[in-house]
Structure 1
Amino acid sequence: MIVFPFFNLVHPGRAIGRENIPEGGVLVCGNHTAMSDPLFLAFAFRHKNQLRPMAKAELLRVPFIGWILRHVGVFGVERGKSDVGAIKQAMKYLKEGEKVLLYPEGHRIHESRGEQGEAKNGAAMLAVRCGVPILPVYVPERKPWFRRTTVVIGEPYMPQVSSRKGTAEEYDAITADLMERIHKLGERAV
């Protein structure tokens, strides 16, 4: 509430597909090109559908900023290792019916600079194990000052697996499909 008026002045946004946000727990997955992406998504989802973003743990250790982030629902993940605590926290939130925001590539990717990321299978595993849908979202890389940036919210879908836990191959297929869905939403972000 404190950040919105200023942010909306310099980076106004609009959302397409808000009607696609399901009730209850959902894993929100998107592309990540700038530090402002979580803000664009939080404002697109509005307070009614508050997000629980997963962020690199280092951010939560920054004085004052970390305190603010923790108080708005951000939780940390230690990148580069298997952070069981972060996975358990995400599962807890999803099972309690909350909306968890996760970036499958794990960090910012600047496609305009030719960067390519490799998505991890964590999102697929979380959705399958918690029995929640995945909601793909897209925020354009280019976010002009004082002009609207369109956030596109796709349709939720349930990842399909042959067994209760799924296999590594199934997680790979779900992840590839998810990234394709995310990038396809970019066609609507005009």
Structure 2
Amino acid sequence: MNQDQMKPLNRFFVFIYYLVGLIADILHPVTVEGLERLPQSGALLCPNHSSNWDPVLVALKLPVNYRLHIMAKEELFHNPILGWILRKVGAFPVNRGGSDIQSVKTALQAIKSGDNLLMFPEGTTIRNGVGYADGLPAHAHGGVAMIGVRAGATLVPVFVDGEKKLFHRTRIIFGEPYQPQISGRHGTAEEIQKAADGVLAAAYALGGQAVGGKPL
């Protein structure tokens, strides 16, 4: 266990972790594969995104001392109570409508400090291959790779089953960690987009699917 994992845990986070975990295990039981592959620190977890339950289920299946931060859509923080809770458990907002320098800085700092970050390459909920936010076919946004490269993070593709029915089991599969190959310090725009596309494709492939959820 490294020094970062030995830091005192937020008691409120621990309470929420076990309380919500108990509820989630009843509503959406989960089978987890590949948890032993996770780096202890400096990881950027990159799941596919089909449900608002995804970040909750993934986070709850990580060790309570995993030091996870979650980049979440800004709209969730508009409710003062929910926003307060989210911040207490390590989430921070991102404005998906444009360049959000503060959220990028927060993400970079989380990884560079030795903590871990969960960020969805698609940037929005995807169902039937179409994103709700932009109406476009499922695709990766380059921001996830840009943050990963600049922070020196280890990328971890994560697959989460798309359809989530109450009381039906969901799969979460953690893939092999890796660092994208780029030229120079920050890579070219083409290399960054290729890295983002690659980690998203790897996430879907863990579940035997192509990007957007279609069977391979």
TM-score category (smaller protein):
over 0.9
Contact 2:45 2:156 in 1 (8 A): yes
Q: Is the 8 A contact 2:74 2:94 kept in 1?
A: yes
Give the stretch that moved more between structures: 101-110 or 144-153. 144-153
The answer for unaligned runs of 5 or more in structure 2 is 1-17, 210-216
Which SS does the other structure have where 1:150 is aligned? strand
SS in 2 for 1:151: strand
Partner of 1:179: 200
1:16 aligns with 33
The residue identity in structure 1 corresponding to 2:60 is F
Question: Which of residues 24, 33, 43 in structure 2 aligns to 1:26?
Answer: 43
1:112 Cα deviation (Å)?
6.6
C-alpha distance 58-161 of structure 1, shift in aligned 2 (>3 A): same
2:153 pairs with one of 127, 132, 135 = 132
Residue of 70, 86, 92 corresponding to 2:103: 86
* Cα 1:111–1:6 shift into 2, 3 Å: same
Paired residue for 1:66, among 72, 83, 98? 83
Deviates more, 1:114-123 or 1:27-36: 114-123
SS in 2 for 1:49: coil
Q: Percent identity?
A: 39
Check the 8 A contact 1:24/1:98 in 2, yes or no: yes
Q: Which amino acid aligns with 2:91?
A: V
Counterpart-to-counterpart distance in 2, 1:133 and 1:140: 23
Q: Does 1:162 align with 2:183?
A: yes
Give the TM-score normalised by structure 1.
0.93
The two structures have a TM-score, normalised by structure 2, of 0.82
Deviations 1:123-148 (A, max 9, x none): 11111111111011011111222122
Q: Which moved more, 1:39-48 or 1:131-140?
A: 39-48
| Alignment-derived partner of residue 22 in structure 2 | 5
Q: Is the 8 A contact 2:130 2:137 kept in 1?
A: no
3-state secondary structure, aligned to 2:65 = helix
Structure 2 Cα separation of the partners of residues 151 and 5 of structure 1: 17
CA distance in 2, matches of 1:159, 1:112: 25
How many correspondences in the alignment?
188
Q: Distance in 2 between matches of 1:146 and 1:130?
A: 38
- The structure 2 residue matched to 1:42, chosen from 51, 55, 59, is 59
How far did 1:99 drift? 1.1
Q: Give the secondary structure class of the aligned counterpart of 2:172.
A: strand
Which deviates more from structure 2 when the two are superposed, residues 60-69 or residues 98-107?
A: 60-69
